[in-house]
Copies of this chain bind each other. A is one copy, B any other.
Amino acid sequence: MVIVMAPDATADNIDALVELVTSAGGEAYVTRGVSRTIIGLVGDVERFQDLGLRAKPGVGDVLRISAPYKLVSRENHDSRTVVGVRGVPIGGENMTVIAGPCAVETPEQTLAAAHMAKAAGAALLRGGAYKPRTSPYAFQGLGEQGLRILSDVREETGMPIVTEVVDAADVDLVASYADMLQIGTRNMQNFALLQAAGDAGKPVLLKRGMSATIEEWLMAAEYIAQRGNLDIVLCERGIRTFEKATRNTLDISAVPVAQNLTHLPVIVDPSHSGGKRDLVLPLSRAAIAIGADGIIVDVHPSPETALCDGPQALVEEDLSVLRDVAGTLATLSGRTLTPAPARELADV
Is the CB–CB distance between A242 and B213 below 8 Å? yes
Residue-by-residue, is A181-196 near B (CB-CB < 8 Å gives 1, otherwise 0)? 0000011011110000
| Of the residues B169, B216, B226, contact of A168 by C-beta under 8 Å | B169
A336 at the interface (CB under 8 A from B): no
A317 at the interface (CB under 8 A from B): no
Interface-facing stretch out of A115-123, A150-158, A281-289, A339-347 = A281-289
A200 at the interface (CB under 8 A from B): no
| Of the residues B75, B243, B305, contact of A52 by C-beta under 8 Å | B305
Is the CB–CB distance between A257 and B241 below 8 Å? no
A334 at the interface (CB under 8 A from B): no
A:19-76 near B, CB below 8 Å: 29, 31-36, 38, 40-46, 49-50, 52, 54-56, 63, 65-66, 68, 75
Q: How far is the CA of A200 from the CA of B131 in the complex (A)?
A: 23
Q: Size band of the A side of the interface?
A: 35 or more
Interface-facing stretch out of A92-100, A106-114, A271-279 = A271-279
A255 at the interface (CB under 8 A from B): yes
* A133 CB contacts on chain B under 8 angstroms: 191
| Of the residues B138, B192, B239, contact of A49 by C-beta under 8 Å | B138
| Of the residues B2, B42, B246, contact of A34 by C-beta under 8 Å | B42
Is the CB–CB distance between B134 and A189 below 8 Å? yes
Interface-facing stretch out of A83-91, A172-180, A306-314 = A306-314
Is the CB–CB distance between B35 and A132 below 8 Å? no
Q: How far is the CA of A239 from the CA of B215 in the complex (A)?
A: 18
A79 at the interface (CB under 8 A from B): no
Is the CB–CB distance between A211 and B211 below 8 Å? yes
| Of the residues B31, B222, B282, contact of A42 by C-beta under 8 Å | B31
Can you give 26 contacting A-B residue pairs, CB < 8 Å? Answer: A4-B65, A33-B40, A34-B45, A34-B66, A36-B65, A49-B137, A55-B277, A68-B137, A134-B189, A135-B222, A136-B191, A136-B219, A186-B190, A213-B243, A239-B243, A241-B241, A241-B249, A245-B257, A246-B253, A252-B252, A253-B279, A283-B290, A285-B291, A288-B289, A328-B332, A329-B332
